[in-house]
Amino acid sequence: MDWQPVTEQARQCWNDEEYTTEQAAYGIAFLLILQLTDLTVIERSRKGTGFDYWLGSQDSNTLLPFQRMARLEVSGIRKGNRSQINARVKQKTEQTGASDAEGLPAYIIVVEFSRPISVVSAKQNLEGALLQ
């Protein structure tokens, strides 16, 4: 990852802090998923599913359209303490319960930008076991 200085033009283009935080959290979460798993983002999920993206295999030889192997829920926090980060992980983990009937693992990634720190949790199948 290559960080560039923030210019006034960039500030003006990303003037909505909430949207900017959300989009930046997605970018970091995508990189973390690629680095920590054998999965990649393949599809945006519909609203109301309890998660943001479908994940599939990174292996381009096995990647089929709409191959759904896991779920990804992402959240960004501009500035928060460890307690707030953990509370957000818990909230997002519970939120993925809306799609537990899919029977697939869910990855929850919360990115805090003032330190920066990211917490990656995996909820395996319907058992709700949390790995951190």
Residue 4 lies in a domain: no
Pair 74, 24: CB distance under 8 Å: no
How many domains does the chain fold into? 1
Residue 3 lies in a domain: no
- Cα distances (angstroms) measured from residue 87 to each of 16, 81, 94: 24, 10, 11
Domain of 62 in residue numbering reads as 16-131
- pLDDT for res 125: 63
Q: What are the φ/ψ torsions at residue 107 (nearest 5 degrees)? A: -105, 130
Pair 42, 63: CB distance under 8 Å: yes
Q: What are the φ/ψ torsions at residue 24 (nearest 5 degrees)? A: -65, -40
Residue 2 lies in a domain: no
Residue 96 lies in a domain: yes
Residue 1 lies in a domain: no
Residue 8 lies in a domain: no
Residue 9 lies in a domain: no
Residues 61-93 pLDDT 10s: 655 655 888 999 999 999 999 999 999 999 999
Residues 8-64 pLDDT 10s: 998 888 889 999 999 999 999 999 999 999 999 999 999 999 999 999 988 766 556
CATH code, 82: 3.40.1350
